[in-house]
Structure 1
Amino acid sequence: TGGNAQCLSNTCVHRGGSLADGKIKGDCIECPYHGWQYTGEGQCHRIPSLGSKAKIPGRTRVDAYPVLEKYGVVFAFLGDLPENERPPMMEIPEFDDDRWRATWINLQAPFNYERSIENGLDPAHNEFVHPIHGYSGENAEYKVGNLRLVGDGKWGPGFFHTFKSPPAETAEWRQVKEASDAREAGSGTIGPNHMWTYIRYAPGKAMHQYLYECPIDEGNVNIFLVNLRNQLIDPDRDQMVNDRNWTIISQDLAVLSKLSPTVTPPTNTKEFMVPADK
């Protein structure tokens, strides 16, 4: 409303209509069931069956949630904590730095968000899932080295490690990524569903990825990726960068969509863990 994003509960207080399936009427959302209209603050503005001059009862409102537009993404807090008690949102410190260039990807993926976070934090899967990161399991000497842990320990852990990595597959990308026996990369979380990944190709050459994952239900997640790079930053390279990221995403989708069980077990006793999983 007024050019600002708003977030309301999806359920009309009348007879449970889905407001998400309704129409925007002025600065209101109109329920598709009986035409009740709600403002961005959740207050009912019109009840057609009562007539155009009816007084609207004060309790005919739906819940409204605080919204923040930042980094090209709309965030909503669905809890009821006051602002000073809410968990932190993952920041992107280089977002406004002219030496970095941002691109965005949004997708809905058919798996549980916890499995997606596990994937992003997993240093061992790159060797087998992503040919451009590793050697597809053909390196007989492959192993995950020591993990250097980072993070404040309150809102989420993180790590960095080094690994052997092949050169990029095209001449253009090889300007950024040559073969290396000591490529450094790391990942970490802020809260349960915000995750960062830093890839350091060489001194002064890096890609920083920030994923904001919004669970839809037990088997689906809405993922927002904000990708920052400090090489090949011309806008005409944006599609090339997104194409590369889509390739990597597609490789992960092929594996994650077939995991069993689909939800992360509640204890580690249900899946055998190794040091790379810590």
Structure 2
Amino acid sequence: MLKNFWYALEFAEKVTRKPIRVTCLGQDFVLYRGESGAPVCLSDLCVHRGGSLAMGSLVGDRIACPYHGWQYNPDGACVKIPANAEERGIPRKARVDSYPAVERYGMVWAFLGDLPEDERPPIPVIPEHDDPTFRAVHFEMELNANYERTFENVVDASHTPFVHGTSFGNPDKPEIPPFEIRSDDWSAEADIFLSPPPPKGLWGLLAKRKPRPEYVTVTNGWYLPNVVKLHVRLPIGDMLLYDFNIPITQDRTMVKIIGYRNFFTGGWADENARKRIEKILVQDRPVVEAQRPELLPFDLADELHVRSDALQVAYRRRRAQLIAQGWWVGGDDIITTEGPRRNATVIASPTRRDHPELASAWVHKARNGGKPDESARRAQ
């Protein structure tokens, strides 16, 4: 799992003045909106006795822990301890990690890492979101698979005739013609020619009035750390799916999808669009969940690649570079305890750079001295 990136954690309409818990990179976070409406993202773990802030309530811009009422500002600093007399100060170590958060493209994003603002990778651009000719629907599904497996699945054009059959691919013409990749440091995409199946259902009604093309152009792309795009140019218009593959843990992924279309743009067609997205995921799900090894290999040579795998290979090469830079969630991000929940992830926030003298405020030592166990070492 990669840190030091902006992660889309939740659909914007679900983030309100009522705190909610979300999980990403193995860590729990609390999301809510301040009085101005701006999103706030904090570590869900109260520094006092480990209460869940997501179970708490808001007092203005502050969030109050449900256990002892400690109140935290959006910057993570505790500003009130109800059990203390007024003349007693707040311990300087009384703070939680606060992560930069923004709302964009119908999602709430948080920067999960400690890089300074001018060193952070960009949030991917989704131009269709502000285009009035497109209508969007949302869909989500949890998969028991690693997020990199679900991520690569979407940019893998050659699986469509076999996994999706005549609903999306054409088993009679599975060949993938050569394609060129357009890439930069944070993304890669390609225009791929696929033989389409005959359109069915509601979408087929209009398509029958137009000649069926021999090939359709499908643009597949990935955007670090976990976003993939599928752009299908149909005879009746354009359909684009942006998949946010949120790593809950190493082996569980929440896939949140924004689907855009510039045809049948009335609300009456939304449910049909969601059902088509769901059908694609339901077909992919058993195949991806059964992949072995469950985690993507670190060595490019550990799996066999062919020409049609070029987008996946491009991702794995860039991933290897970022791992070498220390952007992989590893032993330094793992808290080890001897309790029922043995391992937990804690991603350092920019707040730690702002207050280096308080580094020990975030140190949780286990009985074994705080050293990562063997599973944590293997995760590096």
TM-score (norm 1): 0.89
Asked whether 1:252 is paired with 2:284, we answer yes
Cross-structure match for 1:150: 182
Partner of 2:220: 187
Q: Given the alignment, which residue of 237, 251, 274 partners 1:219?
A: 251
Which whole-Å CA distance do the structure 2 matches of 1:154 and 1:265 have between them? 21
Bigger mean CA offset, 97-106 vs 112-121: 97-106
Equivalences for 1:17-166 in 2 at 5 Å? Answer: 17-20=51-54, 22-26=55-59, 27-51=61-85, 54-131=88-165, 132-135=167-170, 137=171, 139=172, 141-151=173-183, 153-166=184-197
Deviations 1:187-230 (A, max 9, x none): 1112231222111113x721122222222210122322111111
- CA 12–95 in structure 1, closer or farther in 2 if over 3 Å, else same: same
CA distance in structure 2 between the partners assigned to 1:35 and 1:208 by the alignment: 45
| Aligned CA distance change for structure 1 residues 107 and 161 (closer, same or farther; 3 Å) | same
In the alignment, is the contact (CA less than 8 A) between 1:38 and 1:46 conserved in 2? Answer: yes
How far residue 51 of structure 1 moved from its aligned partner, in angstroms, is 4.3
Cα separation, partners in 2 of 1:62 and 1:171, compared to 1, 3 Å: closer
SS in 1 for 2:108: strand
Matched with 2:11 is none
Structure 2 distance, partners of 1:173, 1:62, is: 53
Give 1:53 deviation, angstroms: 6.1
| Residues 1:275 and 2:307 aligned together | yes
TM-score, normalization: structure 2? 0.67
CA distance in 2, matches of 1:50, 1:193: 44
Q: 1:52 to 1:221 in 2, by over 3 A?
A: farther
Range with bigger deviation, 67-76 or 88-97: 88-97
Tell me the distance in 2 between the aligned counterparts of 1:234 and 1:176.
18
Q: CA RMSD in A?
A: 2.1
Which of these residues, 259, 263, 269, is aligned with residue 295 of structure 2?
263
Asked if the contact 1:13/1:60 (under 8 Å) is kept, the reply is yes
Distance 1:44-1:173 versus aligned 2 partners, 3 A rule? farther
**What secondary structure is seen at the aligned counterpart in 2 of 1:241?**
helix
Range with greater deviation from structure 2 (67-76 or 191-200) = 191-200
1:87-133: per-residue Cα shift (whole Å, max 9, x none)?
A: 01111112122111111123332211110111011011111111311
How far apart are residue 54 of structure 1 and its match? 4.2
Conserved 8 A contact 2:192-2:220: no
Q: Distance in 2 between matches of 1:133 and 1:8?
A: 41
5+ residue gaps in structure 2? 1-33, 311-380
What code does the residue aligned with 1:61 have? Answer: R
Which runs of no fewer than 5 residues in structure 1 stay unpaired? none
Q: Is the 8 A contact 1:88 1:190 kept in 2?
A: no
- Structure with bigger RCO (C-alpha 8 Å, 6+ apart): 2
Distance of aligned partners of 1:174 and 1:159 in 2 relative to their CA distance in 1, 3 Å threshold: farther
In structure 1, C-alpha distance between the alignment counterparts of 2:224 and 2:174, rounded to whole Å = 31
Letter in 1 for 2:261: R
Q: Secondary structure at the match of 2:177?
A: coil
What is the number of residues matched between the two proteins? 272
* Residue 201, structure 1, aligned to residue 198, structure 2: no
User: Which deviations, in whole Å up to 9, do the C-alpha atoms of 1:137-182 show, x marking residues without a partner?
Assistant: 4x2x53222123223x321221111121112121444425874321
The CA deviation at 1:4 is 2.5
Measured after TM superposition, the shift of residue 65 of structure 1 is 1.0
Q: Distance in 2 between matches of 1:104 and 1:167?
A: 26
Distance of 1:200 and 1:255 partners within structure 2: 26
Q: Give the partner amino acid of 2:169.
A: G
Give the SS at the match of 1:266.
Answer: coil
TM superposition shift of 1:48: 3.0
Give distance in 1, aligned partners of 2:293 and 2:174. 28
Return the letter of the residue paired with 1:247. Answer: K
For 2:204 and 2:88, the matched residues in 1 are separated by 65
1:58: Cα distance to partner? 3.1
